[in-house]
Amino acid sequence: MSIPVFYEPNPIASPFLSEEESIHAHRVLRLKSGDPIFILNGIGQKFEAKIDQSTSKKTTFHLLKEIENSALPAYSIHLWIAPTKQMERMEWMVEKCAEFGIQSIGFFHSRYSERKEIKTHRLEKIVVSALKQSKNLFLPNIYPIISFKELVKQLSNKEHEQKLFAYISNPPSPSLSKSIQQNQAYHILIGPEGDFSTEESAALLASDWTPFSLGKAILRTETAGLAATHAIHLLHEN
């Protein structure tokens, strides 16, 4: 039987699981005093622990030792995406990007957006679940939706970070692999199903965003977000 993994952001100062995690430990896994567990804090550390007491309200544990401590990678991926009308597609993308490893996922609405509101609470639960499933050590940040103009303004001071946007053009833009510089903080912008407007594309180019292509096929928004995330990871493989 594999040892179950839980998320607790500060296990040293707070040696107990959240109510939601406690319900899973007590009712689903039926853990009891003395059972071993792993704790991830979402900022690079993994701990070995043992259950002290398990209830559906509060499961307590004591730490035995730190078994992993990882520094942040030399590069980081920050995905900004215009959410689709079907929220389950965004949830699927968030889950898979978190499994691959990503630093943050944020949302924006633009001229041709299908959705201008989004609830982040469920997405935050999804990235915690993906963290535990994949056993990654870093929990992605989830940012609420903002306007396209706000996003461009907000990132305008990121002078030493690379900003790229998926761009459908004729002739096509250079591929992502030819556009990125190694070991950077990457802000990847994926537009809505109807793409960016002419004015929005011009605003991005004027603000030093680099256009890139993901190939000849026209990808769905969520597919493009996942493809770009995975491509950057592959380009940094030794």
Question: Do residue 132 and residue 30 come from a single domain?
Answer: no
Helix/strand/coil (H, E, C) string of 95-114?
Answer: HHHHHHCCCEEEEEECCCCC
- Comparing CA positions, the residue from 74, 19, 32 lying closest to residue 232 is 74
Contact 39, 185 (CB under 8 A): no
pLDDT of residue 121: 95
- 8 Å CB contact between 3 and 34: no
- The whole-number pLDDT of residue 130 equals 97
What's residue 195's pLDDT?
A: 87
Whether 41 and 154 share a structural domain:
no
How many other β-carbons are positioned within 10 Å of the β-carbon of residue 72? Answer: 11
CA 34/CA 26 separation, integer angstroms: 13
CA count, 13 A, side-chain hemisphere, 219: 16
Domain harbouring 167, CATH code: 3.40.1280.10
Domain that holds residue 153: 76-235
Question: For residue 238, what pLDDT is reported?
Answer: 66
Task: Say yes or no: 115 and 223 in one domain.
Answer: yes
Q: Which of 50, 69, 88 is the last residue of a domain?
A: 69
pLDDT of residue 1: 65
Q: Which pTM does this prediction carry? A: 0.92
Closest residue by Cα to residue 102 from 85, 66, 70, 127: 127
Domain boundary among 52, 69, 86: 69
Angle at 19 between CA 101 and CA 131, to 5 degrees: 10
- Rounded CA-CA distance 99/128 in Å is 10
Element (H, E) at 189: strand 185-190
Task: Provide the residue-wise pLDDT of the chain in tens; the chain has 238 residues.
Answer: 699 999 999 999 999 999 999 999 999 999 999 999 999 999 999 999 999 999 989 999 999 999 999 999 999 999 999 999 999 999 999 999 999 999 999 999 999 888 889 999 999 999 999 999 998 999 999 999 999 999 999 998 887 899 999 988 778 789 998 999 999 999 999 999 888 999 999 999 999 999 999 888 888 999 999 999 999 999 998 6
